[in-house]
Amino acid sequence: MSRSPSVTGAARGRGARSNQSGRFESLQREDFDDGWTERDGQPAKLDTTLTPEAARKIITRNDSPDIGFGASINPYRGCAHGCIYCYARPAHAYMGLSPGLDFESRLFFKPDAGRLLAAELSRPRYAPQVIHVGGNTDPYQPAERKLGVTRAILETLQRFSHPFTIITKSALILRDLDLFAPMAADGLTQVAISVTTLNRTLARSMEPRAATPERRLGAIRALSALGVPVKVMFAPVIPGLNDHELEAVLAAAAEAGAVGAGYVALRLPREIAGLFREWLAAEQPGRAEKVMSLVRQMRGGRDNDSSFGQRMMGQGPIADLLAQRFAAAKRRYGLDGPKPTLDLSKFKVPPQTGDQIDLFAAN
């Protein structure tokens, strides 16, 4: 699939405003609008490869005290959104690839994710707990449009009436409103939308292939209108760069219908520190020294502190002030209500082809 010209760039002297392939062509072009226009500039061209991953299981478990879930599913490795701050970048090194451009362009997907999930949920000893989808890389990155791995996962969760949470910074999530709306009505899902900045220029530079801030707020609005509980994530908070937008982002999200909010301070583990400093020098040269100084003040004088209890929020006066501002903004904009409770009691393994019919079920 390739992207066809934007409708804003219509060819002179032509009546048609798009260039989709004929339905008998093997190559199909599909228009999609992620909110960017020609005035915003285009990110540098980078060829992307998609490689299937032969996974044996799909649910990953963790016992970290800093993470609010114990089970997660990641449909993809690597992420074409290219967010410079992404904490998942270092994982690409374990595959012999660069956490830099390789992370953004050499992507892996799990084509059997739906089947693997169904097999795991059907095990006799499986005990349901809320599953988080997309805890590592975005489940709605551009490749999802044609691969549908995340869609297959959500359809499986729906068949099993299994509760889940999901996080994204893509408006592509609206494709699956037909799944989210009924599951939300049954108390089976909560969505988190990441809004890091309202500044289009900063967003284009920092998150080059993610949707515009306006599209993300639009996703919050559309989901909320259908009764899906949405939490806005102001993450990461980068002192000296986007921290001044905290109140504005929460206000905009609340106006769009969000019912909760969260934040995470910038984390720079392993290779991300060098990549982020490189980006700062090129994109924010006038702020680079100040930003890194403030980051170190939140991280005990280092670029990063991976200690449990510290790595998500930081420490010191700057981190304390940020926490106070965030708590005050949540109260001010009505985002401090109780967290929606997801219902584990509805989980049920659906009948499989060939199962023996229960003669007493109809009585």
Q: In what order do the strands lie in the sheet with 189-194?
A: 60-61, 71-73, 131-133, 164-168, 189-194, 230-237, 260-265
The Cα-based distances of 180 to 100, 165, 191 in angstroms read 34, 10, 9
Is 58 part of a structural domain of the chain?
A: yes
What's the pLDDT score for residue 135?
80
The Cα-based distances of 20 to 3, 14, 16, 35, 48 in angstroms read 9, 15, 10, 19, 21
DSSP class per residue in 26-41? SS-B-----S--GGG-
Is 9 part of a structural domain of the chain?
A: no
Is 288 part of a structural domain of the chain?
A: yes
Q: What is the CATH number of the domain that holds 53?
A: 3.20.20.70
Least confident of 40-44, 96-100, 270-274, 309-313: 40-44
Name the band, by pLDDT with cuts 50, 70 and 90, for residue 13. Answer: very low
- Dump pLDDT digits (tens) for 41-100: 655 566 789 999 988 899 988 776 666 678 999 999 999 999 999 989 998 888 888 889
Mean pLDDT of 285-307: 88
Mean pLDDT computed over every residue of the chain: 85
What's the pLDDT score for residue 17?
27
What's the pLDDT score for residue 93?
87
Least confident of 1-10, 92-101, 217-226, 313-322: 1-10
DSSP class per residue in 234-302? EEEE-TTTTGGGHHHHHHHHHHHT--EEEEEE----TTHHHHHHHHHHHH-TTTHHHHHHHHHHHTTTS
- Name the percent of the chain lying above pLDDT 70: 82
Counted domains in the chain: 1
What's the pLDDT score for residue 23?
27
d(CA 321, CA 92): 34
Is 50 part of a structural domain of the chain?
A: yes
Is 179 part of a structural domain of the chain?
A: yes
- Dump pLDDT digits (tens) for 224-267: 999 999 999 999 999 999 999 999 999 999 999 999 999 999 98
- Domain range for residue 280? 46-332
The Cα-based distances of 189 to 20, 149, 245 in angstroms read 35, 18, 28
- Dump pLDDT digits (tens) for 184-199: 999 999 999 999 999 9
SS3 category, 348: coil
d(CA 188, CA 182): 9
| pLDDT above 90 for 7 | no
Is 12 part of a structural domain of the chain?
A: no
Is 242 part of a structural domain of the chain?
A: yes
Is 96 part of a structural domain of the chain?
A: yes
